[in-house]
Amino acid sequence: MYRVVIPARYGSTRLPGKPLLPLAGKAMIQWVYERARRSGAQQVIVATDDERIAQLVREAGGEAWFTAATHISGTDRIAEVARRARWSDTDIIVNVQGDEPLMPEALLDQVAALLAEDAEAELATLSVPLESVEALLDPSVVKVVTDLRQRALYFSRAPIPWSREGAPAGWLSQSSHAGAHRHLGLYAYRVSSLQRLAGLAPSRLEQIEKLEQLRALEHGMCIRVATAVASPGPDVNTLADVAAVSALLEAGR
């Protein structure tokens, strides 16, 4: 069994009030919550710093916890919920981003089971094969490489792994994305590992790449990675994304 916590803050540089944006007749956070409820999770909580978000979730029949406005990451927000709830150190929590209204519920079950089945892992996450060279070169697409036991070696916005033979004339001549995987922003933690991670200061590589999961790797934490059993739809970061995701939801995806 596991729990889901969805961190949802009101402030956003590009899209203020993003969790409340209307998508196909519902606020985005309601879509995320409802998909999570269809998973095998025993409990789903929206953790937010804004009463408007909390009120909407509650009016839709969901559970929302009001958390501190000072948190700098969703991990910190989830850690507050776990402390206040006094969950056991061995309990598993899945972190679902509040801007993923098309995240398949099967992936929540998959990432939780992945962690539960691996006693050595402290976190678990998922990836999908990269679909193009353009995605490999795109810094907004986070890539992950693993060892032979499917433990994360590194996450990067840079194109990894880099095919030397695929780029005989330099960077823009790259023709191969073989073996490259896109990281999905979905995590499972044991409560003890979550609290440890939230208690660590931002690390050097994390600050360079702006990827919080590098903090875990720099401190020697084991992250188990598996290929996702389903492909998630796009998340919402721009107004163009709002239109695209709304169309997919209208189509009944």
Q: How confident is the model at residue 231 (pLDDT cuts 50, 70, 90)?
A: confident
Percent of the chain with pLDDT over 70: 99
d(CA 107, CA 44): 15
Q: Can you give the pLDDT at residue 13?
A: 67
State yes or no: pLDDT of 192 exceeds 90. Answer: yes
d(CA 81, CA 87): 9
Q: Which residue has the tokens 């069994």?
A: 1
Sign, Cα dihedral of 59, 49, 98, 237: positive
Q: Which residue has the tokens 């970061």?
A: 237
Q: Can you give the pLDDT at residue 106?
A: 97
Q: What is the mean pLDDT of residues 114-128?
A: 97
d(CA 218, CA 182): 20
Of 38, 90, 75, 88, give the one whose Cα is nearest residue 186: 75
Sign, Cα dihedral of 75, 77, 79, 85: negative
Instruction: Write the CB contacts of 117 (distance below 8 Å, at least 6 apart in sequence).
Output: none
Q: How far is CA 14 from the centre of its chain?
A: 18
Q: How confident is the model at residue 236 (pLDDT cuts 50, 70, 90)?
A: confident
Q: Can you give the pLDDT at residue 181?
A: 98
Q: What is the mean pLDDT of residues 183-192?
A: 96
Give the pLDDT confidence of 155-178 residue by residue, as tens digits.
Answer: 999 999 999 999 999 988 999 999
Of 53, 15, 4, 81, give the one whose Cα is nearest residue 242: 15
Q: Phi and psi of 213, rounded to 5°?
A: -65, -20
State yes or no: pLDDT of 202 exceeds 70. Answer: yes
Of 235, 214, 243, 252, give the one whose Cα is nearest residue 97: 235
State yes or no: pLDDT of 179 exceeds 60. Answer: yes
Q: Can you give the pLDDT at residue 253?
A: 53
Q: How confident is the model at residue 188 (pLDDT cuts 50, 70, 90)?
A: very high
Q: Phi and psi of 126, rounded to 5°?
A: -130, 160
Burial class of residue 203, CB neighbours in 10 A (0-12, 13-18, 19+): middle
Question: What DSSP letter does each residue of 108-154 carry, written as one string?
Answer: HHHHHHHHHT-TT-SEEEEEEE---HHHHH-TTS-EEEE-TTSBEEE
| pTM reported for the whole predicted model | 0.94
Percent of the chain with pLDDT over 90: 82
**Whether the Cβ atoms of residue 146 and residue 217 lie closer than 8 Å to each other:** no
Burial class of residue 250, CB neighbours in 10 A (0-12, 13-18, 19+): exposed
Give the pLDDT confidence of 73-105 residue by residue, as tens digits.
Answer: 999 999 999 999 999 999 999 999 999 999 999
Give the pLDDT confidence of 5-64 residue by residue, as tens digits.
Answer: 999 988 776 778 889 999 999 999 999 999 999 999 999 999 999 999 999 999 999 999
Q: How confident is the model at residue 132 (pLDDT cuts 50, 70, 90)?
A: very high
